[in-house]
C-alpha cells in the first residue's frame, strides 16, 4: 500500500475515533468532572510534546514555554471576543458554527505564537545552555508583564467574556496533530539535524548544518503548537489572567517532559497525563502537592535523569508493527534508524 | 556660617535635582541587595558552572531564620541557654527583655542567620548537587530548579504561606543629605554592611589559600584535583560562603522592609542573577557593579517611566547584554574551544 | 512496553483516587472554594473561618430544617483555572447543593459559568467586580461592588475631607485595585477634584521608594491607595519615611489585623472603606467578634464577617427554599429581604448584588478603628450596576 494512502486512512480513522469520543463525552454521558480533566490532559499533551521538540530533541533549554501559550491564548481570545460570534453565526450558528470558529481562532493563536517564537528565537538561540534558559525565562516574564499592561485584553484584571467552547474533538485533534508533526519531524532529515545539534552543536556546525536556522525553525514550530494549546485553553473557562502564565507554568511543562523522558514523545504524553491527573488525585494533600513535586523532581534527577521512558522511544516498535501490518512480509524497511543517546550523558560546554 | 553654606547648596539644586538624587539613593540601596545575592551566584557559577536557582530561596530562608532568631532571642533565648534573663548577656548582647532594638542585636541576628544558611547551603550541595555532578549541566540545572521549588513550597508549608512581619531590630531615622534628598539610617547600615562583606569576600578569594584553591577550581576542575586540591571541600566552602552572603542580604532586606514571605526570593534571585551576568559571571567586582546598575536602572525606570515595567527591566538588560556582550561588563571574552 | 504498562497503572490508580469527597447522605452539602495559600492567604483563611463558624453554629442549633450542614472546603491556590476545576468537581462529583466563593473577583468570574451551567447557586462574600453577577442568574454576591465602593471613597475625600488634589497609588497586578482606581478617579473629578499624579506598583512589591518620591513631588492633599493590606502597610511606612504626611485612603482590601502590624503608626489618621468595624458596639457585632476571638484567637476582619454573613444568608435561603434543588434555592436567595447580618442588613437587588451600607473607618493610634462615617453615595441608585 503506498505510504500516503496508508497515512490518509490512518488519519481518517483517528478523526473518526475523535468524532465518536467527542459525541460520547459532550453528550454528558460521562461525568463532566472526568471530561474536564481529560480535556485538560489533552491540552497538556500538546504543550508537553511541543516543548519536547525544543528541549528534548534539539537539546535547547527553553523555559519560557508558558509565554507562547499566553500569546496564543490572548490572540485567539481577542479574535473570538471581537469576531467570534459573527463568525460562528455566519457558519450557521449553533454548535457546529462555534466549533469551526474555534478551529479558526486556534489557527490564529498558533500563527501569532509562531511569530512570537520567531521574534524570541532569533536573538536567543545564539546562546547556549544555561544562558538560553535564563533568556527564555526572561522573555516569558516580559510577555506576562506586557499582558498585565494591555488594557484591551483586560490587563491585570484578566480577560473575561471569552466564549466558552469546550471541544473534545479539537483539543484532541490538536494533540494528535502535535504528536504527529513532532514525530514526523524527528524522523526526517530535519529531525536528524536537530538531534545532531543536540549531541554536539559545534560538530554539527562544522559538518555544514546551519544550526541557527534549524534551531529557530524548531522553535517557531514549537511555539506555534504552544499557541494552539493556549488558544484552546482560552476557550475552556472563558477567562484568562496573565498570572496563570508565569514561569511556574513553564516549570510544570518542563517537569512533564523530564518525568516522561526528554527524548521521548510517548514519555511526554505520559508525563503530561500523570501531572495533570496527579493534582486531582492528591486533592487530599493539596498543601503538600508542590513539595511532593519538587522532591520528585530532585529524586528523579539524581536517580533517573532520563525520565520514565528515557532514551528509547516506544513508538519505534509501534511503527514497525504497523508497517508489517499493512505491507506484509515483503515490505521494504526504508525508515532511517535513530540513534537517540541518553540526555544524561556528559555534555561539555 | 555653616548653616548658610548648607542652605546655599540646597538652593542651588532645585526640586527636580533632589528627586533625582533621591531616586539615585533609592537605586543604590536596592542595588546593594542585588549585589550581595549576585556575589553568591557568581561564585557558585565560577566554580561549578551551575546556575544555582535555589540561591534566591536561600536568601528567603535567611530572612526567615533572622525572623525566628529575632523573636527567639532576648529573655526567652537567655532562659533557654540557662542564663539569667536580666543578666548582662541577655541585656547587652541579646538585647534583653522583649528584644530591645540595637545595632548589636541586628548584627548578631544577621551573623547567626548567615551561619545557619551556610550550613543549609552545604547540605543542599551535598544532597542534591553532588550526585548530579557527573551528569550533564542540563540535569544539574533542572535539579537546581527542583531545589528552588522545594525551598519555596516547603517554606510555605513550614513557615506558613502568609507574609510575616519582621520585628524592628533597631530604630531607624531619616538623615537629610545635601541636595534635598534623604536617606534612611537602615539604608546606610545596609550599604555599609554590604560593602564590608564584599571587601571581606575579595580578601578571602584573593588573599587566602582557600581562595586560591577556589580560583583554581573555577579555572579547571580536573587540573585542580590533580594539583592535590580537595575539590569537594572547596565546592562545599564556596556554597557555604555564597549562602552566607545571601542570608545576610535576606536579613538586611528584612530590616529595611519588614515584610517577609516564602516566595520573596524568586524574583529577587532572578534579578540578582542578571546582575551577575551583567557584571561578568564568575567576576566578583562585576557582581557588585552589576547589582548596583540593575538597582539604579530599575529605580529610575519606576520613577521616571512607568512602574508597571519594573520587572521587565532586569530581563531586558539581560537580553541586551547577552546579545551584545555575553561575557559581561567586566568579564573576559572567552574563546570557544573545540 | 513494560514502562508504558507501569505508567498506565499509575494513571489508573490516580484516577481512582479522584473520588467524590464524601458519599450522599441526608445532609446539606455546601462547596466552599477559597485561596488559603498565596499572598492574600489571610483573606481566604479568614473567609473559611467565618463560614466554618457559621456552619458549626447552625449545626449546633439543629441544622437547617433538621438536616446538618456539611462543608466541602477546597483551596484554589489563587489560580482561576484551579477554581474552575474545583467548582466543576463540586457540582458534579460532590453534588453540592450550593457553592460559596471566592474572595477575588478573577476566580469568581472563572468559576461562575460552571455553577450557572449546572444550575447550582453560587454566592460570593467579597468579590467586588461588577462582572461576577453578570455571569448568570444563579450567581449572587453579598457585598458591595467596586463602583459603589470607589465612589464612596472619592466622595469622602472630596466632600468630607475637602481635598482638591489627590494622587493614586494603584496595584496594577490586581483587578480589585485597578477597578477601584477607575471609579475613584472618575468620581473625584466629578466632585471637582484633580488627580495630580498616578503611580503604580505590583502586588508583592517591597520597595515603593521610587514611586513615593515621584508622588511627593506633585504635592497631593490625599493619596488613594486601593490595594491590599500587605502592600499598603509597607507603602504607608515608606511614605512617612519619605516625609509624606497627608492621609491615605483605601478600600476594604486594607482590612486585616496584619495591616497595623506592618504599617504601625504610619497608618494613624488614614482611612478606608469597609463592610463593618469590629469595634462597632452593636450587640450582634460584638457577639460575633467575641465568638470568633474565643474560637480562633484573633479579631475577625471584614472578610471573616462577610463570609460569616454569606454562609448564614445561604443557610437562611435553604431553610426558606421549597426543596434542595438548585433552582429552588436560587429563588429563595433572590427573595432574601433585609437579612440581619453582622455587616449590615442585606437585600439582593435585581442584579443579585447586595444592597448594604458602607462604613468609612479612620485608623487611630494603636490600631483601633473609629467609624468616621456611614457613607451614602450620592447620585448612585440603590442598585449600582455600571
Chain B, 56 to 115: residues with Cβ < 8 Å from chain C are: none
Smallest Cβ–Cβ distance between A157 and the set C7, C113, C175 belongs to C175
Kindly report the pTM of this predicted structure.
Answer: 0.82
- Per-residue pLDDT reduced to its tens digit, A174-205: 999 999 999 999 889 898 888 888 888 888 88
pLDDT digits (tens, 9 = 90+) for A44-91: 999 999 999 998 888 888 899 999 999 999 999 999 888 877 777 777
Enumerate residues 6+ apart whose C-beta is below 8 A from A94.
Answer: none
Per-residue pLDDT, C38: 65
Question: What's the pLDDT at A311?
Answer: 56
Q: What is the pLDDT of residues C63-107, one digit of tens each?
A: 888 889 999 998 888 888 889 999 999 998 888 999 998 988 888
Report the 10 Å Cβ neighbour count for A124: 25
Inform me whether the C-beta atom of residue B127 falls under 8 Å from chain C C-beta atoms.
no
* Per-residue CA distances from A44 to A254, A255, C305, C385 (Å): 11, 12, 40, 38
- The pLDDT tens digits of the residues spanning A87-118 come to 777 777 677 778 888 888 999 999 999 999 99
Residue of A nearest to C19 (CA): A281
Angle at A16 between CA A11 and CA A21, to 5 degrees: 125
Contact B149 A139 (CB under 8 A): no
Which of B219-233, C23-37, C55-69, C277-291 is predicted least confidently? C23-37
CB contact under 8 Å between B150 and A139, yes or no, is no
Percent pLDDT > 90 in chain B is 22
Contact (CB<8Å) A347/B138: yes
Query: In whole angstroms, what separates CA A194 from the centre of its chain?
Result: 17
B187, B258, B267, B295, best to mutate vs chain C, most C CBs in 10 Å:
B258
Interface check C219 vs B, CB under 8 A: no
For residues B313 and B334, give the distance between their C-alpha atoms in angstroms, rounded to a whole number.
Answer: 27
Q: Classify residue A320: in a domain, yes or no.
A: no
Segment (H or E) for A132: helix A129-149
Considering only CB atoms, C75 lies closest to which of A155, A277, A286, namely A286
Q: Can you give the residue ranges of every domain in chain B?
A: 13-164+172-324
Check CB contact of A245 with chain B, cutoff 8 Å. Answer: no
Q: Do residue A158 and residue C77 have CB atoms under 8 angstroms apart?
A: no
**Contact residues, B window 187-246, toward C, CB-based 8 Å cutoff:** none
Is any Cβ of chain A less than 8 angstroms from the Cβ of B307? no
Instruction: From chain B, pick out residues whose CB is under 8 angstroms from the CB of C262.
Output: 165, 258-259
Joined together, the cell numbers standing for residue B256 give 529595611
How many angstroms separate the CA of residue C77 from the nearest CA in chain A? 9
User: What does each C-alpha distance from C244 to A80, C239, C263 come to in angstroms?
Assistant: 47, 5, 14
Kindly state whether B297 is in contact with chain C, defined as any CB-CB distance less than 8 angstroms: no
Average pLDDT, chain B: 80
Residue C385 pLDDT grade (very low, low, confident, very high; cuts 50, 70, 90): very low
Could you tell me the strand order of the sheet in which C27-34 lies?
Answer: C68-75, C27-34, C98-100, C122-124, C139-141
Searching chain A, which residue's CA lies closest to the CA of residue B324?
A123
Q: What is the pLDDT of residue A344?
A: 33
Q: Inter-chain contact B145–A124, Cβ cutoff 8 Å?
A: no
Contacts of C172 in chain B (CB under 8 A): 307-308
- Interface probe, candidates A57, A67, A120, A134, chain B, greatest B C-beta count within 10 A: A134
DSSP A228-266: HHHHHHHHHHSEE-GGGGSHHHHHHHHHHHHHH-TT-HH
pLDDT band at A345 (very low <50, low <70, confident <90, very high): very low
Q: Is B146–A130 a contact, with Cβ atoms under 8 angstroms apart?
A: no
Q: Which residue has the higher pLDDT, C144 or C183?
A: C183
Are the Cβ atoms of A314 and C1 closer than 8 angstroms?
A: yes
Residue A286: per-residue pLDDT:
67
Q: Which residue of B21, B166, B167, B307 to mutate against C (max C Cβ within 10 Å)?
A: B307
Give mean pLDDT, residues A261-280: 87
Given this model, what pLDDT does residue B119 score? 95
pLDDT score recorded for residue C16: 60
Closest of B326, B33, B336 to residue A134, by C-alpha? B326
Work out the pLDDT band at A322, boundaries 50, 70, 90.
low
What's the confidence (pLDDT) of residue C347? 86
Phi, psi values for residue C244, rounded to 5°? -85, 120
- In tens, the pLDDT along B22-36 reads 888 888 888 988 998
Flag whether A313 is in a domain. no
Record the cell numbers describing residue B275, joined without a space. 546582575
Residues 67-86 of C with CB under 8 A from A: 74-75, 77-81, 84-85
Total Cβ atoms within 10 A of residue C198:
18
* Residues in chain B where the model's pLDDT stays below 50: 1-12, 75, 88-99
User: B48-52, B68-72, C7-11, C175-179: which has the minimum mean pLDDT?
Assistant: C7-11
Give the pLDDT confidence of C189-211 residue by residue, as tens digits: 999 999 999 998 888 788 888 88
Would you say residue A348 has pLDDT above 80?
no
* A158-169 average pLDDT score: 84
pLDDT band at A349 (very low <50, low <70, confident <90, very high): very low
Domains delineated in chain C? 22-144+282-355 (3.40.50.2300), 147-274+359-375 (3.40.50.2300)
Query: Cβ of A346 under 8 Å from any chain B Cβ?
Result: yes
Residue A321: pLDDT over 70: no
Domain count, chain A: 1
Question: A54 touching B, CB under 8 A?
Answer: no
How many beta-carbon pairs under 8 angstroms link A with C? 107
> For an interface test with B, which of C178, C209, C265 has the most B Cβ atoms less than 10 Å from its Cβ?
C209
| pLDDT recorded at residue C39 | 61
Are A251 and A257 contacting, i.e. CB atoms less than 8 angstroms apart?
no
Residue B27: list chain C partners with CB under 8 A. 210
With respect to residue A321, please indicate whether it lies within any of the assigned structural domains. Answer: no
Nearest to B316 among A124, A142, A344 (CB): A142
State yes or no: pLDDT of A332 exceeds 80.
no
- Picking from C41, C205, C206, the nearest residue to B161 by CB comes out as C41
Instruction: Please give, rounded to a whole number of angstroms, the shortest distance from the CA of A10 to a CA of chain B.
Output: 37
DSSP class of residue B191 equals: H
| ∠ Cα A214 A216 A219 (to 5°) | 110
Backbone angles phi, psi at C68, to 5 degrees: -75, 150
Determine the 3-state secondary structure of C37 from DSSP.
Answer: coil
How far is C210 from chain B, CA to nearest CA, in Å? 5
| Sign of the C-alpha dihedral computed for residues C258, C262, C263 and C268 taken in this order | positive
Residues of C in contact with B264 (CB under 8 A): 206
pLDDT at C222 over 90: yes
**Chain C residues inside the 8 Å CB shell of A307:** none
The string of pLDDT tens digits covering residues C103-113 is 888 889 989 99
Q: Chain B residue closest to A129 (CA)?
A: B138
Nearest CA in chain C to A309: C3
Amino acid at each position: 500500500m503506498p505510504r500516503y494512502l496508508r497515512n490518509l486512512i490512518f488519519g481518517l480513522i483517528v478523526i473518526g475515533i475523535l468524532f465518536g469520543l467527542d459525541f460520547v463525552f459532550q453528550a454528558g454521558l460521562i461525568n463532566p468532572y472526568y471530561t474536564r480533566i481529560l480535556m485538560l490532559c489533552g491540552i497538556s499533551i500538546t504543550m508537553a510534546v511541543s516543548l519536547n521538540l525544543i528541549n528534548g530533541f534539539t537539546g535547547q533549554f527553553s523555559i519560557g514555554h508558558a509565554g507562547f501559550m499566553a500569546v496564543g491564548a490572548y490572540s485567539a481570545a481577542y479574535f473570538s471576543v471581537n469576531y467570534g460570534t459573527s463568525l460562528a453565526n455566519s457558519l450557521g450558528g449553533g454548535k457546529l458554527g462555534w466549533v469551526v470558529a474555534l478551529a479558526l481562532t486556534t489557527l490564529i493563536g498558533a500563527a501569532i505564537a509562531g511569530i512570537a517564537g520567531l521574534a524570541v528565537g532569533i536573538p536567543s538561540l545564539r546562546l547556549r545552555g544555561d544562558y538560553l534558559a535564563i533568556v527564555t525565562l526572561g522573555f516569558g516574564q516580559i510577555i506576562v508583564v506586557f499582558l498585565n499592561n494591555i488594557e484591551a485584553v483586560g490587563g491585570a484584571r484578566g480577560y473575561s467574556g471569552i466564549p466558552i467552547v469546550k471541544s473534545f474533538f479539537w483539543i484532541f485533534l490538536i494533540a494528535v496533530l502535535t504528536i504527529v508533526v513532532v514525530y514526523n519531524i524527528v524522523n526526517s532529515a530535519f529531525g536528524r539535524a536537530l538531534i545532531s545539534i543536540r549531541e554536539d552543536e559545534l560538530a554539527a556546525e562544522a559538518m555544514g548544518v546551519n544550526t541557527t536556522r534549524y534551531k529557530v525553525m524548531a522553535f517557531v514550530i514549537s511555539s506555534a503548537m504552544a499557541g494552539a494549546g493556549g488558544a484552546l485553553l482560552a476557550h475552556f473557562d472563558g477567562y484568562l489572567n496573565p498570572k496563570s502564565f508565569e514561569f511556574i507554568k513553564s516549570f510544570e511543562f518542563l517537569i512533564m517532559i523530564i518525568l516522561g523522558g526528554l527524548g521521548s514523545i510517548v514519555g511526554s504524553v505520559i508525563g503530561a497525563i500523570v501531572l495533570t491527573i496527579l493534582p486531582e488525585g492528591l486533592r487530599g494533600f493539596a498543601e503538600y502537592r508542590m513539595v511532593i513535586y519538587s522532591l520528585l523532581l530532585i529524586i528523579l534527577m539524581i536517580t533517573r535523569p532520563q525520565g520514565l521512558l528515557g532514551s528509547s522511544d516506544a513508538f519505534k516498535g509501534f511503527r514497525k508493527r504497523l508497517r508489517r501490518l499493512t505491507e506484509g512480509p515483503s515490505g521494504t524497511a526504508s525508515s532511517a534508524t535513530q540513534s537517540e543517546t541518553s540526555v544524561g550523558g556528559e555534555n561539555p560546554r | 556660617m555653616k548653616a548658610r553654606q548648607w542652605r546655599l547648596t540646597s538652593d542651588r539644586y532645585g526640586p527636580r535635582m533632589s528627586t533625582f538624587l533621591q531616586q539615585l539613593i533609592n537605586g543604590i540601596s536596592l542595588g546593594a541587595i542585588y549585589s550581595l545575592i549576585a556575589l553568591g551566584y557568581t561564585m557558585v557559577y565560577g566554580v561549578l558552572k551551575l546556575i544555582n536557582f535555589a540561591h534566591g530561596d536561600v536568601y528567603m530562608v535567611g530572612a526567615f531564620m533572622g525572623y525566628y532568631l529575632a523573636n527567639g532571642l532576648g529573655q526567652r533565648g537567655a532562659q533557654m541557654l540557662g542564663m539569667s534573663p536580666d543578666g548582662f548577656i541577655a541585656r547587652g548582647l541579646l538585647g534583653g527583655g522583649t528584644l530591645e532594638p540595637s545595632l548589636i542585636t541586628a548584627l548578631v541576628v544577621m551573623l547567626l542567620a548567615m551561619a545557619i544558611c551556610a550550613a543549609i547551603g552545604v547540605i543542599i550541595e551535598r544532597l542534591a548537587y553532588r550526585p548530579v555532578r557527573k551528569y550533564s549541566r542540563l540535569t544539574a540545572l533542572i535539579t537546581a530548579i527542583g531545589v528552588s521549588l522545594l525551598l519555596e513550597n516547603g517554606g510555605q508549608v513550614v513557615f506558613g504561606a502568609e507574609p510575616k512581619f519582621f520585628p524592628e531590630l533597631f530604630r531607624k531615622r531619616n538623615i537629610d543629605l545635601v541636595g534635598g534628598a534623604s536617606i534612611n539610617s537602615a539604608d546606610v547600615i545596609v550599604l555599609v554592611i554590604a560593602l564590608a562583606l564584599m571587601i571581606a569576600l575579595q580578601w578571602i578569594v584573593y588573599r587566602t589559600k582557600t581562595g586560591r584553591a577556589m580560583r583554581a577550581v573555577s579555572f579547571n576542575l580536573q587540573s585542580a584535583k590533580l594539583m592535590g586540591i580537595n575539590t569537594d571541600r572547596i565546592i562545599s566552602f564556596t556554597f557555604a560562603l555564597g549562602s552566607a552572603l545571601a542570608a545576610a542580604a535576606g536579613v538586611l532586606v528584612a530590616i529595611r522592609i519588614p515584610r517577609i514571605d516564602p516566595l520573596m526570593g524568586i524574583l529577587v534571585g532572578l534579578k540578582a542573577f542578571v546582575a551577575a551576568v551583567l557584571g561578568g559571571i564568575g567576576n566578583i567586582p562585576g557582581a557588585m557593579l552589576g547589582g548596583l546598575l540593575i538597582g539604579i536602572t530599575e529605580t529610575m525606570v519606576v520613577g521616571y517611566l512607568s512602574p508597571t515595567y519594573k520587572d521587565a527591566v532586569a530581563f531586558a538588560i539581560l537580553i541586551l547584554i547577552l546579545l551584545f556582550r555575553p561575557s559581561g561588563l567586566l568579564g573576559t571574552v572567552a574563546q570557544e574551544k573545540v | 512496553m513494560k514502562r508504558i504498562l507501569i505508567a498506565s497503572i499509575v494513571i489508573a490508580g490516580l484516577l481512582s483516587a479522584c473520588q467524590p469527597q464524601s458519599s450522599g447522605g441526608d445532609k446539606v452539602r455546601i462547596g466552599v472554594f477559597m485561596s488559603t495559600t498565596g499572598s492574600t492567604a489571610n483573606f481566604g483563611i479568614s473567609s473559611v473561618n467565618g463560614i466554618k463558624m457559621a456552619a458549626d453554629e447552625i449545626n449546633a442549633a439543629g441544622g437547617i430544617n433538621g438536616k446538618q450542614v456539611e462543608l466541602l472546603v477546597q483551596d484554589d491556590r489563587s489560580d482561576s483555572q484551579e477554581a474552575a476545576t474545583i467548582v466543576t468537581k463540586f457540582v458534579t462529583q460532590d453534588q453540592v447543593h450550593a457553592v460559596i466563593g471566592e474572595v477575588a473577583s478573577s476566580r469568581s468570574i472563572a468559576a461562575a459559568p460552571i455553577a450557572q451551567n449546572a444550575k447550582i447557586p453560587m454566592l460570593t462574600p467579597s468579590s467586588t467586580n461588577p462582572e461576577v453577577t453578570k455571569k448568570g442568574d444563579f450567581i449572587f454576591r453579598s457585598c458591595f461592588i467596586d463602583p459603589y465602593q470607589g465612589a464612596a471613597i472619592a466622595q469622602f475625600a472630596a466632600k468630607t475631607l475637602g481635598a482638591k488634589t489627590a494622587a493614586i497609588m494603584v496595584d496594577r497586578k490586581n483587578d480589585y485595585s485597578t477597578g477601584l482606581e477607575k471609579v475613584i478617579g472618575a468620581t473625584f473629578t466629578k466632585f471637582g477634584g484633580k488627580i495630580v499624579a498616578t503611580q503604580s506598583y505590583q502586588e508583592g512589591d517591597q520597595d515603593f521608594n521610587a514611586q513615593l518620591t515621584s508622588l511627593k513631588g506633585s504635592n497631593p492633599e490625599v493619596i488613594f491607595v486601593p490595594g491590599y493590606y500587605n502592600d499598603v502597610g509597607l507603602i504607608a511606612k515608606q511614605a512617612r519615611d519619605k516625609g509624606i504626611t497627608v492621609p491615605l485612603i483605601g478600600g476594604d482590601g486594607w482590612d486585616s489585623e496584619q495591616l497595623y502590624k506592618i504599617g504601625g503608626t504610619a497608618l494613624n489618621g488614614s482611612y478606608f472603606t469597609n463592610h463593618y468595624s469590629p469595634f462597632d458596639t452593636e450587640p450582634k457585632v460584638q457577639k460575633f467578634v467575641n465568638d470568633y476571638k474565643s474560637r480562633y484567637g484573633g479579631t475577625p476582619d471584614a472578610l471573616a464577617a462577610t463570609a460569616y454573613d454569606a454562609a448564614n444568608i445561604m443557610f437562611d435561603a435553604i431553610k426558606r427554599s421549597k426543596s434542595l434543588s438548585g433552582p429552588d434555592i436560587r429563588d429563595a436567595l433572590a427573595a432574601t429581604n433585609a437579612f440581619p447580618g453582622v455587616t449590615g442588613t442585606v437585600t439582593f437587588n435585581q442584579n443579585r448584588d447586595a444592597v448594604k451600607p458602607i462604613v468609612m473607618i479612620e485608623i487611630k493610634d494603636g490600631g483601633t478603628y473609629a467609624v468616621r462615617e456611614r457613607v451614602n453615595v450620592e447620585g448612585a441608585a440603590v442598585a449600582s450596576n455600571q
